[in-house]
Structure 1
Amino acid sequence: MADGRSTTAHSGENLLFLTDEQLRQGIEAMFFAYRGFTADPDRILADMAYGRAHHRAVHFINRAPGTTVNNLLSLLGVTKQSLNRVLRTLIEDGLVESKVGKLDKRERHLFLTTEGQALEQKLSDAQRARMRMAFRDAGPEAVAGFRQVLEAMMDGEMRFAYKRLKDSGI
C-alpha cells in the first residue's frame, strides 16, 4: 500500500506457516510499534524524571483502586525492591496514597490522588489517541485479529491476570 502498510495478509499468503523472515518482520514491527506506543508517555514522564515503571504502576493503580502492593508486584512482574523505589517516589510526589489494610494491617492498599489521576489521564489520553487512529485505519477485523494475537502471546498466568482485569469492568 502507498501508506507503508503491507497487503501481505490479503494476498493469499498462508499465515499459518510463516517463514523465519516473516516472523522477523513481525518482531521488528512489534519493536517499532512499542516505541511509538510509549513515545508520547515517555516525553511526559521525562519532564517529571519518571520512567515506564512509574507509568505502569500509575496505570494499574488507576485500573484497580485499592490494589495491594503484592497484587501490583504480581501484575507488573518486578522485584519488590524495584516496585518499592517507584512507589516511594510516587507517594512522596503526592501522586499515590498508601493506606493500611482494614482486615490485614500488614497490607498496603494503593490509590491515586487527584494529581495522580490527572497524570494517568494525560498518559492514557496520549496512548488512546494513537491506538484509536491505528484501530480506525486498520478496521474492525484487524483489531479483533490483533487482540487475538496479543492474547495468544501471553503466558498463561499473564493471560489470567489480563482476563481478570478485563472482566472486572473497572
Structure 2
Amino acid sequence: MPESHSGESLLFLTDEQLRQGIEAMYFAYRGFTADPDRILAGMAYGRAHHRAIHFIKRAPGTTVSNLLAILGVTKQSLNRVLRTLIEDDLVESRVGTSDRRERNLFLTEAGEALENRLSEAQRTRMRAAYRDAGPEAVLGFRKVLDAMMDGEMRRQYASLRDASQ
C-alpha cells in the first residue's frame, strides 16, 4: 500500500485498499513458501508435510490429535502425510506413556535436518524483510497477524509460543 497514508487514514480503509492488502498477503505467502516448496518438490512432498514437520519440531512428543487441532485438517489427510513421513524415516510415532492409545510424534535425525533446511530458508526471508521494514513495522505486522486469528487459533499460537519460552 502507498506510504503516503497517515496512520489515522489507515483506520478507515477503502475496499480497494483492503483488496490490495489481501493481494499483498497472497503474494507474500507465495514468496514465503517458495523456497521450502522447491526443497519439498524434489522429495515428492508438499506443504502439508512441511506444516506437520514444523509443528512436530515445535512440540516434540505432540499427539496426533493435537496436531490435528493445530493444522485444522482431516484425520484422513493427516494420516496420509504422517504415513509417508514415518515410512521415509523423518518422523517417529511412539506409544503414549500415560495413554497407550495415543501416539506421540517426534522428528528423527533426518527429520530434524529437513526441518532445519526448510526453516532456515524461511528465516532468511523473514529476517531480511523484518530488517528492511524496521522494528515499528514488525510490531505492527505482528499485531495485524494476531488480530486476524480467531480465538482458538490465538490460543493455540499462544500455547506454542509459551511452550518455547
**Same fold judged by TM-score > 0.5?**
yes
| Alignment deviations for residues 135-162 of structure 1 (CA, whole Å, 9 cap, x no partner) | 0000000000000000000011000000
Alignment partner, residue 153 of structure 1: 148
Displacement of 1:79 in angstroms is: 0.1
Gaps of 5+ in 1: none
Q: Any runs of at least 4 consecutive aligned residues in structure 1 with deviations exceeding 4 A, and if so which?
A: none
Out of 2, 13, 23, the residue aligned to residue 6 of structure 1 is 2
| Alignment deviations for residues 108-141 of structure 1 (CA, whole Å, 9 cap, x no partner) | 0000000000000000000000000000000000
Alignment partners' CA distance in 1, 2:7 and 2:147: 23
Which one is further off, 12-21 or 80-89? 12-21
Q: Equivalences for 1:98-113 in 2 at 5 Å? A: 98-113=93-108
Alignment partner, residue 81 of structure 1: 76
Displacement of 1:169 in angstroms is: 1.6
Percent same amino acid among aligned pairs? 76
Alignment partner, residue 127 of structure 2: 132
Alignment partner, residue 44 of structure 2: 49
The alignment partner of 2:153 has SS state of: helix
Alignment partners' CA distance in 1, 2:4 and 2:140: 15
User: How many correspondences in the alignment?
Assistant: 165
Out of 41, 56, 63, the residue aligned to residue 58 of structure 2 is 63
Alignment partner, residue 94 of structure 1: 89
Q: Normalising by structure 1, what TM-score? A: 0.94
Alignment partner, residue 72 of structure 1: 67
Gaps of 5+ in 2: none
Alignment partners' CA distance in 2, 1:48 and 1:95: 12
